[in-house]
Amino acid sequence: MSTALEAVLRRDRAIVVAALALITVLAWADLVWLANDMWMGGMDMTGFRMIPAGQGLMMPESAPWQPIEFGYVFAMWVVMMIGMMTPSAAPMILIYARVGRQAASAGQPFAASAWFAAGYLLSWTGFSLAATSAQWTLQRTALLTPMMESASNILGGIVLIAAGLYQWTAFKDACLSYCQAPLTFIMRHGGFRREAGGALMLGLRHGLYCIGCCWAIMMLLFVGGVMNLLWIAAFAILVLVEKVLPFGRLVARLAGIAFVVGGAWLLLQLQPF
């Protein structure tokens, strides 16, 4: 019986890993497509801002955002968050799937782990809406270039320093501790859920802790470029290392120091807005 259960657990693990890998690959493929489209082969797009639609869409730089542009930018942020955060959420989802299968074999099944994952991604969808609103505000105030990069060393320096200091806060520590110990998080928040709605809300709550851990890092995309694939990959790796490695807390603090130093360097450049 135990041998059969272990075989099923290995199969379930393979299915979950494959599904998460597929979601991540598809998200990154879309990001590469959007980034290539926005750069338009290096053409001079002075006076225009690109819309991340994958269709060569653009608007005059001074034109106000239209609802369709807000929608495209929101979709871009959602895809970006899925691509960046799904790998770091994998340990939690795998634990949920494993315990769920064991409960099912004992005749007391939990809600499918897909509901938990959906709740997690739903929280980051909410974050994407906030990030889209922030991007709209920055572009409206000319603090962001048409290519979605910081137009001000002052803005970039302040964001970097703020993110660096946040890496050392107790709130960051508390949120990161839940991300590093998935089973502890689940047990401290009522345990595994048998109903779909409960699993969805548990995933949503975990996502909120994850946002509390990583939101400042995500805001750094406004410094290096929202569609800069190198920055996106670097921050995704940083988030993954913080969450899954035993010395993740040390990495977070070292990254915080690097952010502060980078921010100070930008402010010392004394370039105008």
Tally the domains of the chain.
1
270: region left, alpha or beta (phi > 0 left; psi from -120 to 50 alpha): left
61 assigned to some structural domain: yes
pLDDT in tens, 88-143: 888 888 888 777 667 666 666 777 888 989 999 999 999 999 999 999 999 888 88
- In order of 151, 166, 254, 261, 272, the CA distances from 266 in angstroms are 12, 18, 19, 9, 11
pLDDT in tens, 203-258: 999 999 999 999 999 999 999 888 889 999 999 999 999 998 889 999 999 999 99
The answer to whether residues 111 and 195 touch, using CB atoms and an 8 Å cutoff, is yes
For residue 24, what are the domain limits? Answer: 2-268
pTM across the whole model: 0.89
Measured N-to-C along each axis, helices 67-105 and 196-219 cross at an angle, to the nearest 10 degrees, of 130
What gap in Å lies between CA 137 and CA 127, rounded to an integer? Answer: 15
The answer to whether residues 27 and 83 touch, using CB atoms and an 8 Å cutoff, is yes
198 assigned to some structural domain: yes
273 assigned to some structural domain: no
Cα torsion 254, 257, 262, 263: sign: positive
27 assigned to some structural domain: yes
Q: Is the pLDDT of residue 193 over 60?
A: yes
Predicted pLDDT of residue 92: 85
Place of tokens 């980034």: 35
Q: Percent helix, strand, coil in the chain (nearest 5)?
A: 75, 5, 20
